[in-house]
Structure formats: structure tokens, C-alpha cells
Amino acid sequence: MADSGGVSANNAAAGNDDEEGNTAPFPETVAIKFEHNTSKGCKYGPPYEWHVYSALGGTHGVPKVHYKGRQGDYYVMIMDMLGPSLWDSWNSAGQTMSSEMVACIAAEAISILESMHSKGYVHGDVKPENFLLGQPGTPQEKKLFLVDLGLATKWKDPATQQHVDYDQRPDAFRGTVRYASAHAHLGRTASRRDDLESLAYTLVFLHRGRLPWQGYQGDNKSFLVCKRKMSTSPDILCGLCPQPFKLFLETVVNMKFDEEPNYSKLISLFDVLIGPNPSIRPINTDGAQKVGQKRSRLLNDDDDSNARKKIRLGVPATQWISVYNSRSPMKQRYHYNVADNRLAPHVEKGNEDGLLISSISSCVDLWAIIMDAGTGFTDQVYELSPHFLHKDWIMEQWEKNFYISSVAGANIGSSLVVMSKGTPYTQQSYKVSDSFPFKWINKKWKEGFYVTSMATSGSRWAIVMSRNAGFTDQVVELDFLYPSEGVHRRWDNGYRITAMAATMDQSALILSMPRRRPRDETQETLRTSQFPSAHVKDKWAKNLYLAGICYGRTVA
């Protein structure tokens, strides 16, 4: 933060009025945090963190604030003076901590997070630097505190007392790259599971001294770290840790967005590592013990953790993703493993039979083509180009009132672009990018454009956006595996998949809210290691027709 810091001061006798008119004597030693009124968080008044401290006043593990007010150009907050952070303690102890020490930290940290979550907040930046012990030589020297609430957000709507809505904005990272949850990297709305995942990485770091994704640098650091996190199994990450660490990580990475954590059960995982006498434990676990008083009741609850579908665990895979929409009976045809020189004969035969291309994709530099009689297009052209994408040809077709209706790219850098007449589009724009260009998409959304097709070539993305696309809203689901939970949440809210593409690292699905809702909104997806020819005819029998297909990163 600009112009901010904490210092100690002596003021045993003085009392002071805070901004709310309360008067109280200060303890002998306090911490003072300054923020200049021009700093980022003070543009519209006092720092946001002040509001959070006020809301969490008296919460277990949150330090007491004695004064908040303005002195000249600075906002000043005076709070309890605490001792070293867990990072300081780990570093001064030779960058190592005993299993019992880390287990005590785990139990007490979970109890602190439960208290914070019970007030409707998630911390948003759980890491060793933000856990502090009490002052050395005082009765609180073994007590754990959680500080720095500037990134805390509400997981519960205070008006309705309901969980906040799910969303994903891939450009909205919050937290610290090393310890952030995978969901935070991907820009998903923060919820209770994220604090617990960050705590899991904190515990493994304190025990092992290092996390596998340390050392990445550069503009794509967050991308590389998230990719590594999602491809590192709990078995590998916790291979040198006692079993409770793995069990804790497995539990929290598979929590659903709005799932209520069983804090008591999570604490109980670490019981086997903690000595029986609380008075001689390296960390005060009073908070964990209070949570534990509820444990017998909670542990008797039905445990469906093994039966329920896992959110994150699985082996990264490369597969076909196919989407099927309910349609009135129509003629549809597919071709796959099509070499460049076989493309024209397939298309010409389809055209002779009254079919036009509705979707295309590429796998191992061979093409997949979906043709049907229900496109609504009146004319169609296509180009196979060594470029990704061939700008001059596209602009030439735009002049003739053709618009891009499908696009695909091969790993070798070539592309197949299909442009059609009879679309509802009135204007188009496209972008080719080395990474998924969410900021550009967001900018174009504000201009009235919607994503209408996407493709990848190697690690590059091509996004086509159109005006008058027939949508009223649109969202993105982006993942290093497959965004199953996000897709189902979007479906529940009336969105349907309208475009998708995948690289060997990520899959992206565009879900849209149609202006005119179809009579039958049924939509299904499949992930298959081979082209889904064995499934398509079964879908046709149910009047479900291929609406889109792509090949790339998923999870098996």
C-alpha cells in the first residue's frame, strides 16, 4: 500500500475518541497503521479495511482496533500490537516447523476462519505473512491472529442472508499468487472454500518449506502457477507431509462454491498430530477446542463426501467436448479426421444434399466438420489458410455481406474459416491472442458485441464477436481442467453453451442468454477420448443434435 505502515507507540495513559465517538484507554504498546488519503483504497474516503474491522469486531482471532480517524493527510488506525508472523517464525526457526506446530496452526486457523465466515466474510488473502502470533513474553505469545483484511469480501448477502451469486471474470485475480486458490486465479467469485484452499497451501509450505509452483516469473506467472496447482495432485503435493495434510487438501479443493464447510471435521483431521495437553502445545488452540465441542454431533451427520461428485480431483486429459441441443427433427452429418485435401469433397457433397456447415474443429491437424439442414444460412463460403487467421480474405467476405459463422485452427498454425449469409449479424470483430483475451471480450460486450465463435491454434486463441447475435447476456467459463460446476450453475440460471474452444492447457466455454428462448431448452455435453460418433446417433434418436465441438484440455 502506498504510504502505509505499522509502528509501535507508547501511550499507556491516554484515551482517544475514535471516528464513532467511543473513548477507551490504549494498551501500553499498540500498532499504528497509516494510509495516505491519495492511496488506492482511500479514493472515496476511509480505507475499505476499516469497514471490515468494524464488522468483525470481537471476532475470534481478529486483533482489536482501538481507534480509527484522520490526522492531516493520513487515515490512522490504532490496533493491538502483535508479534511475529508465521513466515517470520518459520524463517527464524531455520525454515522448518514440526508436524505438531503446523497441525496446531491448522486447527486454530480453521477456527479463526469459521468465526470470520460466520460473520459473512471471507478473508481473501490467507498466507503465512497474514497470520501473526501475540507479542513475545506476554500471555498471548502463543495465540494466533489473522490480519490484513483489505481483500476481504462478503460471501453472504446481508439483506437476504443468502449466498452471493456465482460468477467468473478471468481478469479479476485477488490475493497472493503463491497461496491463492485455483478459483481465485480463474477469477471466480470468492467463497469459503477459497480461504480453506489457501490455508492448505500455507500449511504445506510451513511443513515442507516450499511449494512446487514457486519460482515462476513474468507476465504469465499467475497462468503458470494456476496450471501447476491444478495438475499437482494432493498425493504429490502432500507426499512428504503426514496424512492429515493430504486429507485436508483433498476435502477443500473439492468443495462446491456455496458449500458450508464442516469446520469441526476439518479440525479433527489434525487431532492425531496434536499432543493431549493443551497447556504445552506450541500454539494456543482454544478456538479449535470450542469448535471441537460441537464435533460429536457433526461427525455423526451423514457423510456423503465419497459418494458426491468431485469438483477438482481427476487426471488432466485431452478429449473431445461436444454439445447437443434439442431441435426439431432435421438432417445432420459429421465427418472427422478429415485431411486438407478431403475437405472440399465432403463439403461439396453436403451442399448437394442441402446441408451447410454449422460447426468445425481440429484434432492433431485433421478437421472435424458438422453439416446440417437447420443452419438458416442462405449461402456459405470457406477458406483453408496457412494463417491463423487470414485477415485479407475475411475482410473481402465482409464486403460481400458474409459473416464468420464457424472457425477452427490446427496446431501447425493453419485455420479453417467458414463465412455465411443469412446470419442475424450486422457487424463483426475478431481478435487473435497468445492468451485468452477476456479483457478484450469484456470491452466488446460493453459495445454490444457477443462472442459467436472461437478457435485455438496451439496455445493461441481466436475470438469472433458479433453485433445483433440474439443474446441478452453472456458469460465465460474458463478452466485448466473442465468447468463442470460453473457450467451447471449457468444452466440453472438459463444460460446455454453457444461457443467453445480448447488448447492443451485450458478449455473455454461461452454461455449465453438467448433473447428468444427455445421451446425445448435441453442441452447436454459429452467428453470423450475419441470423436463421439458412437454417441451422436443415440442423441439424434432423442432429437438432440450436435451444436458445437472442440478438442483440448479436460479432466478424466
Instruction: With beta carbons less than 8 A apart as the criterion, state whether 356 and 348 touch.
Output: no
How would DSSP label each residue in 492-506? HTT-EEEEEEE-SS-
Question: Where are the CATH 3.30.200.20 domain residues in the chain?
Answer: 30-80
Q: Which one-letter amino acid corresponds to residue 277? A: N
Q: What does the pLDDT look like over 330-357, one tens digit per residue?
A: 999 999 999 999 999 999 999 999 999 9
Residue 237 has pLDDT above 90, yes or no: yes
The fourth-level CATH superfamily of domain 84-292 is Transferase(Phosphotransferase) domain 1 (1.10.510.10)
> C-alpha grid cell for residue 451?
462472442
Set 125, 148, 194, 195: catalytic member: 125
List, for residues 290-315, the tens digit of each pLDDT value.
765 555 444 444 454 444 556 565 67
Tell me the mean pLDDT in the region 314-340. Answer: 93
Query: Could you tell me if 360 and 369 are in contact, meaning their C-beta atoms sit under 8 angstroms apart?
Result: yes
pLDDT in tens, 356-391: 999 999 998 999 999 999 999 999 999 999 999 999
Query: For residue 456, is pLDDT > 90?
Result: yes
C-alpha distances (whole Å) from 179 to each of 85, 190, 328, 506 are 16, 14, 50, 21
pLDDT at 452 over 70: yes
**What's the pLDDT score for residue 124?**
98
Q: What is the pLDDT of residue 257?
A: 97
- Nearby residues of 525 by Cβ (< 8 Å), 6 or more positions away: 321, 322, 323, 324, 487, 497
Cβ proximity of 373 and 332 under 8 Å: yes
pLDDT at 24: 56
Give the span between the Cα atoms of 477 and 488, in whole angstroms.
Answer: 11
pLDDT value for 1 = 35
Rounded Cα–Cα distance for residues 58 and 418 (Å): 62
Between CA 358 and CA 406 the distance in angstroms is 7
Residue 12 pLDDT exceeds 60: no
* Mean confidence (pLDDT) of the chain: 91
What residues have CB less than 8 Å from 348, skipping those under 6 apart?
none
Cell 496450471, located at residue: 227
Nearest to 130 by CA among 73, 205, 241: 205
| Number of other CB atoms surrounding residue 298 within 10 Å | 14
> Helices in 189-339 by DSSP H: which ranges?
192-208, 221-231, 234-237, 243-253, 263-268, 286-292, 295-299
For the ranges 14-18, 40-44, 191-195, 428-432, the lowest mean pLDDT is seen at 14-18
For the record, the C-alpha cell of 493 comes out as 440460471
113-130: per-residue pLDDT in tens? 999 999 999 999 999 999
Cβ-contact 416, 367 below 8 angstroms: yes
Whole-structure pTM value: 0.90
User: Is the per-residue pLDDT at 545 higher than 60?
Assistant: yes
User: What is the band of 27 on the pLDDT scale with cuts at 50, 70, 90?
Assistant: low
Position 6 scores a pLDDT of 43
- Give 526 or 14, the one with higher predicted confidence: 526
| pLDDT for the residue numbered 322 | 97
For 143, the grid coordinates are 495465540
Asked about 125 being catalytic, the answer comes back as yes
What is the C-alpha to C-alpha distance for residues 167 and 188, in angstroms, rounded to an integer?
Answer: 6
Answer whether 287's CB lies under 8 Å from 115's CB: yes
CB neighbours (10 Å) of residue 15? 12
C-alpha cell at 99: 508436524
Instruction: Choose which CATH entry (3.40.309.10, 3.40.50.150, 3.30.200.20, 1.10.1510.10) describes domain 30-80.
Output: 3.30.200.20
Of the chain, the percentage scoring pLDDT greater than 90 comes to 83
Judged against a pLDDT cut of 90, whether residue 288 lies above it is answered with: no
pLDDT digits (tens, 9 = 90+) for 461-504: 999 999 999 999 999 999 998 999 999 999 999 999 999 999 99
Q: Which residues contact 254 (CB under 8 A, 6 or more apart)?
A: 310, 311, 312, 313
The grid cell for 285 is 488452540
Q: Is the pLDDT at 21 greater than 70, yes or no?
A: no
Among 11-20, 106-115, 192-201, where is mean pLDDT lowest?
11-20
- How much is the average pLDDT of 320-324? 97
Instruction: List, for residues 398-447, the tens digit of each pLDDT value.
Output: 999 999 999 999 999 999 999 999 999 999 999 999 999 999 999 999 99
Q: Do the bridges between strand 460-467 and strand 449-457 make them parallel or antiparallel, or are there none, so unpaired? A: antiparallel
Please give the average per-residue pLDDT across 18-42, as a whole number: 75
Residue 5, pLDDT > 60, answer: no
